[in-house]
């Protein structure tokens, strides 16, 4: 009878003991990818893995893998992660691309636009496979904003048209871009950098440039492969009219006369061939 009565007591005691045992938290991994916003071609990415709830004072081996978009290649790198006496630790920051990565296909670099996938594998002390994953996005687009001239402006032949364009990628102003526009005669002319991501051209409108609308479209590219096109800005090219504001006549002795002779004007070398003469 005593044995039967003690069995339930033992079961209850074991249940209480098990309930009071401390629970062991599962290992938790946190992947950090910087920058977290889309970047331009050629940008360096920083990747870090943090671990909490792992084995105390243990050396882990972490394998990072980056898979480029559209099957353009993948690469791996192995790095240690050492935990402290509470089972926490992190890898040293890993930069991508760098020569320490091993490419199994394609190239190592942010040289293709699209979404890059990052996979993190724990290979030791036990090989548990993928423990974290993430992504970063690379864009090849340049944004061009033409601030000068203003659409609808009138530029006469013989005058200088100021063209100013700001160029930026998703990473910020682009200071290594090559920028050009087409002049009124559809010839390529380049802009020079005059500020932080700002490019300028002072174009002298020639007397041979065609009259009428001139649609200015800026084009840009850089040495990383980024490129872009600005919105069209249309201005009007008009002829440079010759205006006679005053006219004086002299006789053979050099004295002024009141008689107004017939007006004969000989075109100068740089006078607009399409101009009309007006007497005032």
- Total domains, the chain: 2
Residue 71 and residue 33 in one domain = yes
Residues 94 and 54 in one domain: yes
Question: Residue 26 has what DSSP assignment?
Answer: P
- Where among 120, 139, 158 does a domain terminate? 139
Residue 169 sits in a domain whose CATH number is: 2.60.40.10
Query: Residue 240 — pLDDT band, cuts 50, 70, 90?
Result: confident
Tokens 């002049």 found at: 183
What is the Cα–Cα distance from 55 to 64, expressed in whole angstroms? 20
Q: Which of 139, 155, 185 is the last residue of a domain?
A: 139
Largest CA distance in the chain: 157
Using left for φ > 0, alpha for ψ between -120 and 50, and beta otherwise, residue 93 falls in beta
**Within this chain, do residues 106 and 119 fall inside the same structural domain, yes or no?**
yes
Looking at residue 99, what DSSP letter applies?
A: T
Q: For residue 89, which of 80, 97, 78, 102 has the smallest C-alpha distance?
A: 80
- The verdict on residue 107 lying in a domain is yes
> Is the pLDDT reported for residue 259 higher than 70?
no
Cα distance between residue 59 and residue 199, in whole Å = 53
Claim to verify: residue 135 and residue 167 sit in the same structural domain:
no
pTM over 0.75: no
Q: DSSP characters for 159-208?
A: SEEEEEEEEEETTEE-SSEEEEEE-TTS-EEEPEEEETTEEEEEEE--TT
Final residue belonging to a domain, choices 139, 173, 198:
139
Say what the pLDDT of residue 242 is.
63
Asked if residue 172 and residue 126 are part of one domain, the reply reads no
**CA–CA separation, 179 and 222 (whole Å):** 9
| pLDDT computed for residue 266 by the predictor | 47
Q: Which domain holds residue 44?
A: 26-139
Higher pLDDT, 203 or 6: 203
């Amino acid at each position: 009878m005593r044995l039967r009565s003690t069995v339930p007591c033992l079961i209850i005691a074991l249940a209480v003991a098990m309930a009071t045992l401390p629970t062991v938290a599962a290992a938790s991994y946190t992947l950090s990818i910087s920058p977290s916003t889309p970047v331009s071609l050629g940008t360096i990415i920083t990747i870090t893995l943090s671990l909490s709830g792992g084995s105390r004072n243990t050396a882990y081996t972490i394998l990072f893998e980056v898979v480029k978009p559209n099957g353009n290649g993948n690469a791996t790198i192995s790095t240690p992660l050492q935990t402290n006496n509470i089972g926490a630790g992190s890898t040293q920051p890993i930069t991508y691309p760098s020569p320490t990565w091993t490419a199994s296909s394609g190239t190592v670099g942010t040289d293709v636009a699209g979404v890059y996938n990052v996979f993190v594998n724990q290979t030791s002390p036990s090989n548990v496979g993928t423990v974290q994953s993430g992504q970063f996005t690379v864009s090849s687009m340049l944004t061009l904003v033409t601030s000068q001239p203003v659409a609808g402006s009138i530029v006469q032949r013989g005058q200088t048209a100021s063209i100013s364009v700001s160029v930026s990628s998703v990473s910020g102003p682009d200071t290594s871009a090559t920028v050009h526009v087409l002049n009124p005669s559809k010839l390529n002319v380049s802009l020079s950098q005059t500020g932080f991501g700002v490019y300028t051209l002072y174009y002298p409108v020639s007397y041979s440039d065609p009259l009428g609308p001139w649609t200015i479209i800026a084009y840009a590219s850089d040495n990383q492969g980024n490129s872009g096109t600005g919105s069209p800005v249309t201005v009007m090219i008009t002829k440079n009219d010759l205006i006679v504001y005053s006219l004086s006549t002299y006789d053979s002795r050099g004295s002024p006369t009141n008689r107004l002779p017939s007006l004969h004007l000989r075109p100068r070398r740089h006078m607009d061939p399409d101009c009309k003469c007006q007497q005032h």
